[in-house]
Amino acid sequence: MTAETVRVVIVGTGGIGKCHLRQWNELPDVQVVGAFDTNTDAAQRAAKQFNVPRVYKSLDEIVALSEVDAVDVCTPNMFHKEGVLAALQAGKHCLCEKPLAVHPDDIREMIAARDKSGKILATIQHMRFEDRTRALKRTIDAGRLGDVYYSRAWWLRRRMAPNTPGFIRKEQAGYGPGMDLGVHVLDLAMHLLDHPQPHSVTGIAPCMLGRRPDVANQWGSWKPEDFQVEDFAAAFIRFKNGSALSLEVSWLLNMIEPERYSVWLHGTEGGACWPDLNIAHVQDDLLVDSRITSDLKSDGHKNEMAAFLDAIRNGGPSPVPTEQSLTVARILAALYESAESGHEVLLD
């Protein structure tokens, strides 16, 4: 262990927790010194698989450790707040899986705890840190699209709904694909647009297929009564600068493709598409299509985790400012409020 080694504990050792453990092990000068999960057997299996030296019995036991620099929270959505606040209040840096929280007020509490502790808080929004995103962001920031006035973001799946309680039961997930997939493409679109301030949201969030006993699903079945969240969500978002964004997400949608995710940006000088990196523009009075073709293959998850470590070592800012995560949460909360009320929701 070197002087620059960052010592991390992981809270939550399910599927995404194991993904984090693998990537921590691949990064230099970081050591995972412990793990905790309410399912002790799962924590012990993960610890054995990824050479984690100790499994702890409680969250309080973990955050009390003086030899811990950072806490990595990988629990289901509705339990993020508990882990994040415990870490910050104990004076630890904190990395948390998306969404940072289901409810905006929970994020406001996290911001207050962050400010009081002086520690770094970052949300995993790995799509920002992919090479293909960085390349497209350079193009946009160079003004190639002009003023972007309309955007579309979607992540649609034909029959790929997760079937575990952490995703489909309300007390654990809060909501469905809006929180699972929507938070990804919404954050990505907001990042590419340079974080405009939202003005209003109109949305729908039905469950049309998830509670049917005969629904087909590639990832296995569930009890219809356990599917307590939406299976589709869509929103139209207006920003204070006059631009707008449409958002669509689904786990179960009757469509031709098994899965499709994309962000399209339409500007006064051109349009661009992520992840294909196609650019539509005009040259010499001709309609021209071009494409970014550089080799862009790095791992966005690992890139963001490395940026988090760099911020800890060098006292830099969070790689994903919490205020930006709050804006995304406010938009998603307004989507669900609009879906329930049937009316547009204003965000001031």
DSSP string, 302-338: HHHHHHHHHHHHHT---SS-HHHHHHHHHHHHHHHHH
Q: The tokens 């929004």 sit on which residue?
A: 125
Q: Determine the pLDDT at residue 99.
A: 98
pTM of the model: 0.96
Q: How far apart are CA 11 and CA 286, in angstroms?
A: 55
13 φ, ψ (degrees, to nearest 5): -120, 35
CATH code linked to domain 129-298+329-346: 3.30.360.10
| CA atoms 142, 247, 231, 217: torsion sign | negative
Instruction: Give the N- to C-terminal CA distance of the chain in Å, as an integer.
Output: 49
* Percent of the residues in the chain that have a pLDDT greater than 70, as a whole number: 99
Query: In this structure, are residues 182 and 155 in contact, taking their beta carbons and an 8 Å threshold?
Result: yes
Quick one: average pLDDT of 279-308?
94
Query: For 18-46, how does the pLDDT look when each residue is reduced to its tens digit (9 = 90+)?
Result: 999 999 999 999 999 999 999 999 999 99
Query: How high is the pLDDT of residue 296?
Result: 84
Beta carbons of 199 and 344 less than 8 angstroms apart: no
Tens digit of each residue's pLDDT (9 = 90 or more) over 134-189: 999 999 999 999 999 999 999 999 999 999 999 999 999 999 999 999 999 999 99
Q: How far is 229 from 227, CA to CA, in rounded Å?
A: 6
* CATH for 6-123 (3.40.605.10, 1.10.230.10, 3.40.50.720, 3.10.129.10): 3.40.50.720
Q: Give the pLDDT confidence of 98-134 residue by residue, as tens digits.
A: 999 999 999 999 999 999 999 999 999 999 999 999 9
Each domain of the chain, given as residue ranges in start order, spans 6-123, 129-298+329-346
Q: Round the average pLDDT of the chain to a whole number and report it.
A: 96
pLDDT-derived band of residue 87, with 50, 70 and 90 as boundaries?
Answer: very high
For residue 29, the SS3 value is coil
Nearest to 312 by CA among 9, 126, 94: 94
The Cα 102–Cα 235 span in angstroms is 17
Distance between CA 91 and CA 160 in Å, rounded? 39
pLDDT of 291 over the 60 cut: yes
Residue 1, pLDDT > 50, answer: no
Tens digits of per-residue pLDDT, 59-76?
999 999 999 999 999 999
- Residue 3: per-residue pLDDT: 59
Query: Is residue 190 pLDDT above 90, yes or no?
Result: yes
